[in-house]
Structure 1
Amino acid sequence: MAKEIQIKNKKKISRDHWTAIAFLIPSFILILVFVYGFIGWTGYVSLSNYNTIVPDFSFAGLKNYLYLFKDFRFQADLRNTLFFTVLFIALVIVLGLGLSILIDQKLKGESIFRNIFLFPMALSFIVTGVVWQWLLNPSTGFNHFLKFFGITPKWYTDTNIIGGFQWGSIEFGLPVAIIAVVIAAVWQMTGFSLAMYLAGLRGIDESMREAARMDGASEFQIYRKIILPMLMPITMSVVIIMAHISLKIFDLIYAMTGSGANFVTDVPGVYMFETTFRGNYYANGAAIAIIMLLLVAVFIVPYLWSSRKGDNS
């Protein structure tokens, strides 16, 4: 009897196994074709001479990539992306962590504050870009109030570079105009990191804090030596997700500033769109897309690899 039950269980497990595979196969095929297949096609086009309306898939080697890295605009794009990514990630982490710690103090009306900070996430980057374009317009928005203090910043129209020095074809430094874009992006995405950190704080056993207080630790020491180290996995997740957003950002920049004067707010996403769909330089646009993919992979692949090693151990 027990042997018959064991055989039936094996058959049921085998049937469930093949049923699961049958449901997964269509998704697997779609991902294989429409994700990895298109990535492969983009890589193939980037190595061709397809820079006119008429298709030309003759092999060009790395000509398109070499052209980009010598191009003034693309060098400016890489500079802008670097400073945007660093400022964006740093501010989202600091503000999200700080606000989550404040909300975690059992404030009255906590749900109101939480909803206020999470609301911007309900908007698209297009809407955010249009709103902040008006708010930071040198002749409207905040400047109406700042002019009473004798301050009239140019915001995203400023072409100055802070701490700039000559690097290749561009002046390497922090573009003042990119700060305005960072403000808009941080406003929208801080709510995400707040929610992540707040969930992490609520998941920490209160007995650990009480034990540390009994040992004479101050609140600052508790956060520095206990809370923050325990929140490190959340911090890594926030860094990866925000880096993924910042390295491929397009809609916020396109709606808010475009490429900007002297390309001070331009990014690879905008350059790729204009190169491919307005200039019909398909091979150059594909090369930009592949470079963007590699930039994202620099962050994503090590994180996935470390996560996989952690799961196996």
Structure 2
Amino acid sequence: MFKKWQGLLLVTPSILLVVVFVYGLIGQNIATSFERSSTKTFAGNERVVAPGGFENYTSLLADQRYQDSLWNLLVLTAVFVGGTMLFGLIWAILLEKGVKGEGFFRSVYLFPMAVSFIASGTVWKWLLSPGIGDNQAIGLNRLLIMMGMPELQSRWWSDPGAFSMAAMAMPAVWQLSGYVMALFLAGFRGISEDQREAARMDGAGEWQIYRHVLFPQLSPIALSALIIIGHMSMKTFDLIYAIAGQNNVVADVPATLMWVQLFQQKNAPQAAANATILLLIVALVVIPYLVYTNKTEKDMR
């Protein structure tokens, strides 16, 4: 009888921790998002900060700054995901050819992943310095001047518009392209050489082998990488905080705006509503993927 329940007893502490510190805190956050909040003015009058109920959500969605942060998140995610997938695939293709010094290049490509976003953000803040001209330019702008291309100087993340968030994604692409490369490289190495030889005997060129033999078998890996990188970009906080600071309207995303709402505006219900919406956005990406992988595993049994 004890052996029957032994497995459950072993995982019970983990289950309790997950229930309390994951789902319990999610529930508390959702409850906070519906609360009413107010402050006292100098005249002693009450000023409503959060009206309570679903009005917390409607007022947040109607806020122009929050709408801008959602647009920034969309641009950041598109460039982040697209860049990491592209460079990761290119590096994997180059390395799977069996180049000399493959171990060295693998280490070079993977090393940025070992650096925290705060540390890399501090370095990239200097590289993407918005100063322009001989007297102010440093980082990449100084390099462009030294290379005789001063017209390519940019204010990077400090300029309003989509380009600022695309520039903000550059450090993230640099940091996680190696991770995607490792996934694709493992996928390439998992495909037997016999399939390539059979395709060559049928007259297929190298590009046709990749397109019709290798790439279709990498689609599950590509989907996994897409989901992992996508949900990481949606929750990005530390990189943007390190580069643009804690209250930079130009580089706002929901995660950094949440910090402002909670610690500067003292508006916990609005910050909780922001967190709940962000959770729903991530869930819309992750849950279909989990359903798909679970169905795929069942079909393979």
- Contact kept? 2:129, 2:138, Cα under 8 Å: yes
CA distance in 2 between partners of 1:41 and 1:260 (Å): 26
- Contact kept? 1:42, 1:286, Cα under 8 Å: yes
Alignment of 1:290 with 2:276, yes or no, is yes
1:250-273 CA distances to partner (integer Å, 9 max, x unpaired)? Answer: 000000113676x23110000001
Task: Name the residue aligned to 1:119.
Answer: 111
CA distance in 2 between partners of 1:294 and 1:237 (Å): 19
- Contact kept? 1:156, 1:180, Cα under 8 Å: yes
Task: Name the residue aligned to 2:242.
Answer: 255
Q: CA 1:224/1:289 → structure 2, altered by over 3 Å: closer, same or farther?
A: same
Amino acid at match of 2:110: L
Alignment of 1:181 with 2:168, yes or no, is yes
Q: CA deviation at 1:90?
A: 1.0
Q: CA deviation at 1:282?
A: 0.3
CA distance in 1 between partners of 2:298 and 2:150 (Å): 61
RMSD, aligned α-carbons:
1.9
Q: CA deviation at 1:312?
A: 2.4
CA distance in 1 between partners of 2:89 and 2:113 (Å): 17
Task: Name the residue aligned to 2:83.
Answer: 91
Task: Name the residue aligned to 1:16.
Answer: 3
Task: Name the residue aligned to 1:226.
Answer: 213
Task: Name the residue aligned to 2:134.
Answer: none
Task: Name the residue aligned to 2:263.
Answer: 277
- Contact kept? 1:51, 1:283, Cα under 8 Å: no
Q: CA deviation at 1:106?
A: 0.8
Q: CA 1:146/1:212 → structure 2, altered by over 3 Å: closer, same or farther?
A: same
SS of the residue corresponding to residue 142 of structure 1 reads helix
Task: Name the residue aligned to 1:299.
Answer: 285
Amino acid at match of 1:142: L
Alignment of 1:308 with 2:294, yes or no, is yes
- Contact kept? 2:246, 2:260, Cα under 8 Å: no
- Contact kept? 1:157, 1:260, Cα under 8 Å: no
1:194-253 CA distances to partner (integer Å, 9 max, x unpaired)? Answer: 000000000000000000000000110110111111000000000110111011110000
Amino acid at match of 2:282: V
Number of positions where the alignment pairs a residue of Structure 1 with one of Structure 2: 283
Q: CA deviation at 1:301?
A: 0.4
- Contact kept? 1:51, 1:280, Cα under 8 Å: no
- Contact kept? 1:80, 1:178, Cα under 8 Å: yes
SS of the residue corresponding to residue 27 of structure 2 reads helix
CA distance in 2 between partners of 1:246 and 1:278 (Å): 24
Q: CA deviation at 1:303?
A: 0.5
Alignment of 1:142 with 2:140, yes or no, is yes
1:4-55 CA distances to partner (integer Å, 9 max, x unpaired)? Answer: xxxxxxxxxx53331111111111011001100110110011011135599x
CA distance in 2 between partners of 1:260 and 1:50 (Å): 22
Q: Which deviates the most, 15-24 or 27-36? A: 15-24
1:67-97 CA distances to partner (integer Å, 9 max, x unpaired)? Answer: 1111111000100111111111111111101
CA distance in 2 between partners of 1:204 and 1:52 (Å): 63
Amino acid at match of 1:136: L
Q: CA 1:17/1:128 → structure 2, altered by over 3 Å: closer, same or farther?
A: farther
Q: CA 1:59/1:145 → structure 2, altered by over 3 Å: closer, same or farther?
A: closer
Task: Name the residue aligned to 1:78.
Answer: 70
CA distance in 1 between partners of 2:294 and 2:99 (Å): 39
Amino acid at match of 1:213: R
Matches within 5 A, 1:194-213: 194-213=181-200
SS of the residue corresponding to residue 48 of structure 1 reads coil
Unpaired runs of at least 5, structure 2: 41-45, 131-136
Q: CA deviation at 1:60?
A: 2.2
Amino acid at match of 2:169: V
Alignment of 1:32 with 2:19, yes or no, is yes
1:162-182 CA distances to partner (integer Å, 9 max, x unpaired)? Answer: xxxxxxxxxxxxx11112111
Q: Which of 196, 203, 224 matches 1:237?
A: 224
Task: Name the residue aligned to 1:246.
Answer: 233
CA distance in 2 between partners of 1:213 and 1:78 (Å): 48
1:116-168 CA distances to partner (integer Å, 9 max, x unpaired)? Answer: 00000010000111110001113311111212322221111122x3xxxxxxx
